[in-house]
Amino acid sequence: MKVGIVGFSQSGKSTLFQALTGTAPDPAAGLKGQIGVAAVEDPRLDFLTAMYNPKKRTPAKVDFIDTPGLIRSEKGDNPQRLATLRNADGLLVVLDGFSSDESPADQLQRFREELLFADFEVVSNRIDKLQAGSKKPKPQAERDRDAKELADLQAIAARLESGQPVVGMEFSKEIETSFKSFQLFSLKPELVVLNAREDRANAPADPKLLEMNPQVVVAAAKLELDLAQLEGDERTMFMEEMGVKELAKNRIIQAAYSVVGLISFLTSGEDECRAWTITRNTPAVEAAGKIHTDIQKGFIRAEVVACADLERLGSLKEVRAKGLQRLEGKEYIVQDGDIINFRHNA
């Protein structure tokens, strides 16, 4: 799963990218974009690590893609700049809350219009190909299929041209299949980060912005980067001086992880405590495959304990005594925070 960090030029998105991933922006990456990996801090994993004192602690991770900012001009090459983000599973939109005269809500609206325009171009190109193909001899079944797709796409193009997103429209099964290859921005989940001045880093988001997207995190990207580059007591002292109670970095990463539909299950022991990444609604047998395909093939049962129960009761012995350890089958839907031991044939 990848989250694309996007925004207008000079919004501070590359600074945020470095603060989140620890990877310095590479100007040579150009329009191809640059990928960085961020660890998902998880207090449940911290709890298990303290309990087992394992040789290794492995947090979940999420990939971020940084690309050049969009041009604040109608004559920019924004569709080309956005193209590399087509394969992103979600978008983290960075808004300028420190130097722009434009309100954050207006910035977000204008950014969404850029996405709609880019989607309109993709759909229009497909319409042009279908119309050109309709002039060539084809079997009737193929002509009927193309005509249905063309009618659907023309309705979608009209909606996009009017400034409305595709979300909420009803599609035929055939067009839903086509959408997977289109990778429309209009259908990608969105998280918003308002890059604020340092003295506004703890301020609440503008109500109008929250109406447009309740998934808003206010942060000062430069301050986050400075703090991320410090360690231990030095970071604690600096945070106290700046009046910062917690890093926004962790909230942003966790929000990005969640907005693209990811959750974590946990495994624990003296060798390793680890958070494993899966999508919501993943059955136990598929979750087992995240650890190893042999475990998935030989799956027998999943021993499941909710991390919250283990934290509350303090030991597996007490959890079992209360009857809170469960044996689940292949179809069990893994929940966020489940601690699982998979029984399987070798």
281-344 sits in which CATH class?
A: alpha beta
**Over residues 92-112, mean pLDDT:** 93
- Residue 218: its pLDDT value, please? 94
- Residue 264: its pLDDT value, please? 97
The answer, yes or no, to whether residue 173 has pLDDT greater than 60, is yes
Distances (CA, A) of 61 to 36, 275, 290: 10, 9, 14
The answer, yes or no, to whether residue 176 has pLDDT greater than 80, is no
- Residue 193: its pLDDT value, please? 97
Q: Which residues contact 184 (CB under 8 A, 6 or more apart)?
A: 119, 122, 123, 166
Please tell me which residue, 273 or 143, carries the higher pLDDT value.
Answer: 273
- Residue 76: its pLDDT value, please? 56
**Over residues 280-288, mean pLDDT:** 97
- Residue 166: its pLDDT value, please? 81
- Residue 75: its pLDDT value, please? 52
The mean pLDDT value of the chain amounts to: 90
Q: CA–CA separation, 78 vs 118, rounded Å? A: 8
pLDDT, tens only, 65-95: 998 888 876 555 677 778 888 889 999 999 9
- Residue 77: its pLDDT value, please? 63
The answer, yes or no, to whether residue 184 has pLDDT greater than 60, is yes
**Over residues 327-336, mean pLDDT:** 97
The answer, yes or no, to whether residue 102 has pLDDT greater than 60, is yes
- Residue 74: its pLDDT value, please? 54
**Over residues 239-263, mean pLDDT:** 89
Distances (CA, A) of 231 to 227, 228, 238: 8, 8, 10
Q: Which residues contact 189 (CB under 8 A, 6 or more apart)?
A: 89, 90, 91, 259, 260, 261
3-class SS of residue 305:
strand
Domains 114-186 and 281-344 share a fold: no
Q: How confident is the model at residue 210 (pLDDT cuts 50, 70, 90)?
A: very high
Q: CA–CA separation, 334 vs 346, rounded Å? A: 22
104-133 helix and 140-161 helix, angle to the nearest 10 degrees: 160
Q: Where are the domains of the chain?
A: 114-186, 281-344
Q: CA–CA separation, 319 vs 221, rounded Å? A: 42
Q: Report how far Cα 80 is from the mean position of its chain's Cα atoms.
A: 22
- Residue 33: its pLDDT value, please? 85
- Residue 86: its pLDDT value, please? 86
- Residue 120: its pLDDT value, please? 92
Q: CA–CA separation, 294 vs 163, rounded Å? A: 49
As a CATH number, domain 114-186 is: 1.10.150
**Over residues 300-329, mean pLDDT:** 96
Q: How confident is the model at residue 297 (pLDDT cuts 50, 70, 90)?
A: very high
Q: How confident is the model at residue 53 (pLDDT cuts 50, 70, 90)?
A: very high
Please tell me which residue, 172 or 136, carries the higher pLDDT value.
Answer: 136
